[in-house]
Amino acid sequence: MAIESINPATGKLIRSFNPLSDEAARQKITLAAEAFRDYPNVPLEHRALCMRKLAAILEHETDDLAALITLEMGKPIDGARFEILKCANACRYYADHAARMLAPESIPGGDHYSYVRWDPLGVVLAVMPWNFPFWQVFRFLAPALMAGNVALLKHAPNVPQCALAIESLVRRAGFPRGTFQSLLLEVHQVEMVLGDDRIAAVTVTGSERAGRAIGAQAGWLIKKSVLELGGSDPFIVMPSADLDLAVETAVQARCVNSGQSCIAAKRFIVADEIYDRFEQRFVAGMEAVRVGDPMKEGTEIGPLATVQMVEHLEAQVKAATRAGARVLTGGERMLGAGNYFEPTVLTGVPRSSAVYREELFGPVAMLFRVQDLNEAIAVANDTPFGLSASAWTRDPAEQQRLVSELQCGGVFLNAMVASDPRLPFGGIKRSGYGRELSAAGMREFLNAKTVVIASAGSVNEISGDAYLSDAAD
């Protein structure tokens, strides 16, 4: 079955690719395994030089690469340019800070010298999604290559040209052959690749379904896995908030990447005292968002990435209204060519309905009225997901409670949720496990190797301690 690149703004086929055969995929795994034999010995300074060159190429070719993103998955061109520049920033961050993150950590104690060193695991398989086709890859790629790992990318089937472009960029930056390869595969072939003994670990960003399948196989194989899956992030607004700024940010947070982001705000939980004012302004803001050709400057919402995404979102909105929700604006698929859906606001979605607990991947917001902070936190946590949360209040006591009681991987007070190379990124519950970005993300695919060096005359003592420890175990 061909892997097809289809323009979501027009529905027209751009290019078609034949997937790799199993044998061709195994040859690429062989190349990666051979590359790993030598790559960890490449001086860190040389890896950093290549990473900085990669950042420079991204910046120099921003317009062309952004146009490719927009062509393949419909991201508005302004957002596509920002995505490419964000990738360049991540490359420079890890080039600048990898030495600190990888430095051995001395452990004081006793008469012996002890330290922890960080060793790369080997060949890491990355299964990545289409919604940020460069950024999702680079936030894994940059720390992995700086740490001495090598990578194989199985990208989403609707962005094959982005996948191939990333491989080309890495090679042009000077990284050795085989350290990063894109595999154009069908979904069922992932099991074969992950099952290969030469694959040391896997990272998945994508749907809960994909995470369950790959995480289960990795667990059975006893291979390290990191899962960054769906989210239904709450956006909480309390009476002390700057309402104008909160509303403006709320619209932006729901519509970022045409609503197709795991950390886009999806559930807007507003205190009763200010709910009516928030609802009126928020609906007006959603109605004012510019929907159109993603290649045009100023477009804020483009098409959804695939026909299937539009159909699924449409079915979710209809299910919500059947369950008793009201549509305040939008609610329909837009007529004409392309995968467009109206910016939509729902209110009164019953907490007993299935849609209440699902992720809405598109420009559809759910509003909830709550009486106080206790109810706001309860509604925010009443979800199977736990990725991030944005909370708006100027009350220090409320801020402290929100930080400590919200069940998620990150809390942003009076700010929109965003990923940043300096900060760990990831979730809990069905949003997955493990972290990306920062030192924490780099170390997910490193072996924390304990080293103990006996002082002179204490070898027998160390051997005896080890014996006793083994016996106790």
Quickly count: other Cβ atoms within 10 Å of residue 113's Cβ.
14
Quickly count: other Cβ atoms within 10 Å of residue 84's Cβ.
22
**Sign for the pseudo-dihedral over CA of 437, 195, 47, 141:** negative
**Active-site residue flag, 255:** no
> What radius of gyration do the chain's Cα atoms show?
24
Quote the CA–CA distance of 175 and 42 in Å, as a whole number.
Answer: 10
Quote the CA–CA distance of 256 and 240 in Å, as a whole number.
Answer: 25
Quickly count: other Cβ atoms within 10 Å of residue 296's Cβ.
13
Q: Give me 111's structure tokens.
A: 């008469």
- For residue 13, the surrounding DSSP H or E stretch is strand 13-17
Q: Give me 147's structure tokens.
A: 């740490």
Active-site residue, from 91, 162, 255, 262? 262
Question: Under a CB-based contact definition with an 8 Å cutoff, are residues 46 and 111 in contact?
Answer: no
State how far Cα 232 lies from the chain centre.
14
Question: Under a CB-based contact definition with an 8 Å cutoff, are residues 247 and 281 in contact?
Answer: yes
The candidate with the shortest Cα–Cα distance to 366, out of 409, 328, 322, is 328
Quickly count: other Cβ atoms within 10 Å of residue 43's Cβ.
8
**Active-site residue flag, 262:** yes
At residue 328, φ and ψ (nearest 5 deg) are -85, -25
Active-site residue, from 72, 228, 342, 398? 228
Count Cα atoms within 13 angstroms, Cβ side, for 82: 11
Quote the CA–CA distance of 20 and 10 in Å, as a whole number.
Answer: 28
First-to-last CA distance in the chain? 52
Q: Is 39 exposed, middle or buried (0-12, 13-18, 19+ CB in 10 A)?
A: buried
The residues carrying an active-site annotation are 228, 262
